[in-house]
């Protein structure tokens, strides 16, 4: 009785079925059509109403031609994501029917889905002012993203050409770099998820993401990040010293004992560096997840991703001067397998010695080779030797061809790639000389002597005049100690020839000497971003702080004919091992000294006195 007497579920209809309304509209009767649009646009529309309408629309998609794009846009704005499961399923079915019957609506459908890749906007009222911001606290955010990817997969299943229409939409919807960290994080994460089920888009999506990361990277120079961290640390220490009481100190000790670290300690003080840190962490996680299946490295998947990343590296990273962090995606993937690191070195080598490449690209490739060989713990000594042989042989051939001709003089414009290669070799030797000599001193010295550094240093092209002074000085000290070559006469002569440049400005004349004519940089300088740093540090060779004893030992040459069994204090010093902790900042000889901005990351500009 109760069932019979209960009224049926209300389904509000004006003017008959949906098909009738659409047919009337085609004949010019718009009253019911406008009423339909009004009902669909109602912000208080109920789940049952949405389901009923969608059910009718699914059977009437044949009428939803281009002329009815206004009605379709209202349907695409329906609040379907944050509704019941029944609404979501009905809506996904409607989308599939719509794009398969009317592909003209494909772009609007894709735009609607991609617009949901970031947290929704909410309006916050502060001091009588409405502020629009992203709703970062939405508990259903993850579930909504999953549904969006289901919708995109549904559309792609019905329309095989979806990827080529989707990519421009992904580009135009990418949030501006000043948007909130959460907005950027969600969008990049969702882009990377798309590559899983639309693999043909992976290269383009990686290009898009890395291009945006580069913009963040070059907008947050290393010096600015360090200054912001220093200022934040100073303000924190002042606050603690004024506010902290005895009980707070005890509480802090307890927390340290339990290893509870506040998340604020991982935040970067520089706002753009904070965004970059979050996004680099996502990129590293993606690389790891793609390359590993059930915790084991899948070599075929790794090779495929490596090829895509090298392609992006060539297109975006190599032509970008002095980026600090983004290039570490190559460092990270190469750490998975030695073969990848060797392939990357071979790729850079081909860029360097190919005369058809622009000089600036060849020079940058030289910087990458030197920095990679010096900093990558996972590269064994045997690979370092093979690379040194390759580079030094090329340098000797270059000297054979150029040292006696019309161009046999010191000029960066003429011989830029040569000087970049020299600096790469010197820099590698500074970081790796102990490992090259470790175990068998006589054999190691014999190898270094075979490289014939004397001829390189003494040639008419005069590389010591062009390379960064910090690198030249340490190279001179090390090669003098092992009596490989005596550089100080040439360094003194070069110093006498340096002509200071007078620059006029509003504050008066400024006298400068150019200490970095190559305009070179070290791409794998210490990584500063706190969260993503944890991924890089286990594979990274830090520059070792030279002790006073080491500095003193650098001044004492070893005796010729010294056997490997004789004691040598310098060789007993801490050798950078792959599992050792070596703790020096590469741009400082002394803990507080900094090298010029032009040579950030190089071993500090030091002067070892010569006899």
List the domain boundaries for the chain: 10-120+140-159, 358-499+517-521
User: What radius of gyration, in Å, describes the C-alpha atoms of the chain?
Assistant: 32
In order, the DSSP letters of 261-295 are --GGGGS-SSHHHHHHHHHHHHHHHHHHHHHEETT
Confidence (pLDDT) at 15: 53
pLDDT of 592 above 50? no
Average pLDDT, whole number, for the chain?
81
Burial of 408 (0-12, 13-18, 19+ CB in 10 A): middle
Which is higher by pLDDT, 151 or 582? Answer: 151
Per-residue pLDDT at 133: 53
Please report the pLDDT score of residue 365 as a whole number.
Answer: 95
What pLDDT does 549 receive? 59
Q: What pLDDT is attached to residue 360?
A: 92
For the cut 70, the answer to whether the pLDDT of residue 257 exceeds it is: no
The arithmetic mean of pLDDT across residues 553-568, rounded, is 48
Whether the pLDDT of residue 254 is over 70: the answer is no
Maximum mean pLDDT: which of 152-161, 235-244, 395-404: 152-161
Which one is predicted more confidently, 570 or 550? 550
Given a cut of 80, is residue 185 above it in pLDDT?
yes
Query: Please, are residues 458 and 405 in contact by the beta-carbon 8 Å criterion?
Result: no
Mark 464-499 as b/e (b = at least 16 C-beta within 10 Å). Answer: bbbbbbbbbbbbbbbbbbbebbbbbebbeebeeeee
Give the start-end residues of each E strand in 26-151.
121-126, 129-134
pLDDT score of 501: 56
Q: What's the DSSP call for residue 8?
A: P
Q: What is the mean pLDDT of residues 53-59?
A: 90
> Lowest-confidence range among 37-46, 205-214, 405-414?
405-414
Whether pLDDT at 574 is above 50: no
Place 238 in a pLDDT band, splitting at 50, 70 and 90: low
Please tell me the predicted confidence (pLDDT) of residue 388.
96
Span 375-383, average pLDDT: 95
pLDDT score at 440: 84
For the stretch 190-220, pLDDT in tens is 999 999 999 999 999 999 999 999 999 999 9
The gap from C-alpha 371 to its chain's centroid, in whole angstroms, comes to 16
Task: Quote the pTM value.
Answer: 0.82
Q: What is the 3-state composition of the chain as percent helix, strand, coil, each rounded to the nearest 5? A: 60, 5, 35
pLDDT of residue 130: 52
Does 137 have pLDDT greater than 90?
Answer: no
Q: How far apart are CA 473 and CA 491, in angstroms?
A: 9
CB atoms inside a 10 Å sphere around CB 257? 8
Per-residue pLDDT, averaged over 362-370, amounts to 95
pLDDT 10s digits, 87-117? 999 999 999 999 999 999 999 999 999 999 9
Average the pLDDT over 237-243 and give the result.
60
Residue 572 has pLDDT above 60, yes or no: no
Rounded average pLDDT over 592-604: 39
Residues 6-11: what's their mean pLDDT?
Answer: 48
Beta partners for residue 503, in sequence order? 510
* 132 DSSP β-pair partners: 123
CA dihedral for 133, 135, 141, 144, sign (positive or negative) = negative
Helix (H, G, I), strand (E, B) or coil at 511: strand
Cβ atoms within 10 Å, residue 297 = 12
User: Are 112 and 168 spatial neighbours (Cβ–Cβ below 8 Å)?
Assistant: no
129-134/121-126 β-pairing: antiparallel
The H helix count followed by the E strand count for the chain is 27, 6
In percent, the amount of the chain with pLDDT more than 70 equals: 76
Burial string for 442-453 (b: 16+ CB within 10 Å, else e) reads eebbeebeebeb
Lowest pLDDT segment from 161-165, 346-350, 560-564: 560-564
pLDDT at position 126 is 59
- Please give the biggest Cα pair distance in the chain: 113
Q: Which residues pair with 121 in a beta bridge?
A: 134
pLDDT > 90: what percent of the chain?
52
611 confidence band (pLDDT: 50, 70, 90):
very low
């Amino acid at each position: 009785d109760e069932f019979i007497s209960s009224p049926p579920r209300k389904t509000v209809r004006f003017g008959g079925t949906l098909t009738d309304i659409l047919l009337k509209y085609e004949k010019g009767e718009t009253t019911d059509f406008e009423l339909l649009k009004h009902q669909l646009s109602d912000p208080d529309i109920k789940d049952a109403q949405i389901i009923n309408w969608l059910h009718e629309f699914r059977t009437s998609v044949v009428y939803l031609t281009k002329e009815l794009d206004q009605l379709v846009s209202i349907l695409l704005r329906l609040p379907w994501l944050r509704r019941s499961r029944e609404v979501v399923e009905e809506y996904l079915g409607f989308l599939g029917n719509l794009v398969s019957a009317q592909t003209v609506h494909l772009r609007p459908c894709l735009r609607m889905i991609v617009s949901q890749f970031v947290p929704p906007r909410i309006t916050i009222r502060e001091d009588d002012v409405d502020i629009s911001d992203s709703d970062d606290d939405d508990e259903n955010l993850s579930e909504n993203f999953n549904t969006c990817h289901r919708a995109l997969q549904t559309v792609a299943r019905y329309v095989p050409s979806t990827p080529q229409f989707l990519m421009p939409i992904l580009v135009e919807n990418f949030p501006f770099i000043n948007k909130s960290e959460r907005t950027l994080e969600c969008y990049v994460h969702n882009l990377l998820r798309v590559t899983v089920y639309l693999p043909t888009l992976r290269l383009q999506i990686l290009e898009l993401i890395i291009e945006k990361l580069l913009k963040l990277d070059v907008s947050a120079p290393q010096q600015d990040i360090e200054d912001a961290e220093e200022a934040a640390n100073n303000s924190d220490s002042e606050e603690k010293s004024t506010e902290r009481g005895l009980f707070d100190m005890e509480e802090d000790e307890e927390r340290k004992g339990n290893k509870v670290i506040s998340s604020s300690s991982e935040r970067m003080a520089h706002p753009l560096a904070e965004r970059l840190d979050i996004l680099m962490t996502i990129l590293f996680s993606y690389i790891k997840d793609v390359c590993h299946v059930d915790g084991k490295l899948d070599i075929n998947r790794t090779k495929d991703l490596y090829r895509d990343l090298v392609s992006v590296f060539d297109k975006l990273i190599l032509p970008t001067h002095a980026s600090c962090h983004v290039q570490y995606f190559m460092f990270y993937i190469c750490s998975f397998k030695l073969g990848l690191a060797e392939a990357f070195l071979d790729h850079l080598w081909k860029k360097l010695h190919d005369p058809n490449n622009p000089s600036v690209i060849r020079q940058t490739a030289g910087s990458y080779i030197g920095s990679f060989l010096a900093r990558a713990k996972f590269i064994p000594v045997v690979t370092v030797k093979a690379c040194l042989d390759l580079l030094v042989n090329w340098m000797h051939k270059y000297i054979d061809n150029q040292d006696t001709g019309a161009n046999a003089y010191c000029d960066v414009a003429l011989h830029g790639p040569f000087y970049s290669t020299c600096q790469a070799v010197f820099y590698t030797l500074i970081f790796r000389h102990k490992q090259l000599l470790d175990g068998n001193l006589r054999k190691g010295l014999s190898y270094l002597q075979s490289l014939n550094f004397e001829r390189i240093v003494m040639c008419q092209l005069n590389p010591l005049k062009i390379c960064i002074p910090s690198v030249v000085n340490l190279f001179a000290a090390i090669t003098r100690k092992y009596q490989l070559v005596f550089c100080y006469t040439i360094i003194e002569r070069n110093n006498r020839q340096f002509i200071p440049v007078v620059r006029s400005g509003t504050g008066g004349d400024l006298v400068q000497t150019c200490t970095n004519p190559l305009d070179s940089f070290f791409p794998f300088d210490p990584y500063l971003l706190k969260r993503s740093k944890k991924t890089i540090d286990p594979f990274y060779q830090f520059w070792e702080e030279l002790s006073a004893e080491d500095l003193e030992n650098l001044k004492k040459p070893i005796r010729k004919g010294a056997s490997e069994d004789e004691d040598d204090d310098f060789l007993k010093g801490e050798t950078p091992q792959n599992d050792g902790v070596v703790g020096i900042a590469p741009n400082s000889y002394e803990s507080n000294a900094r090298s010029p901005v032009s040579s950030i990351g190089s071993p500090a500009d030091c002067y070892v006195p010569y006899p």
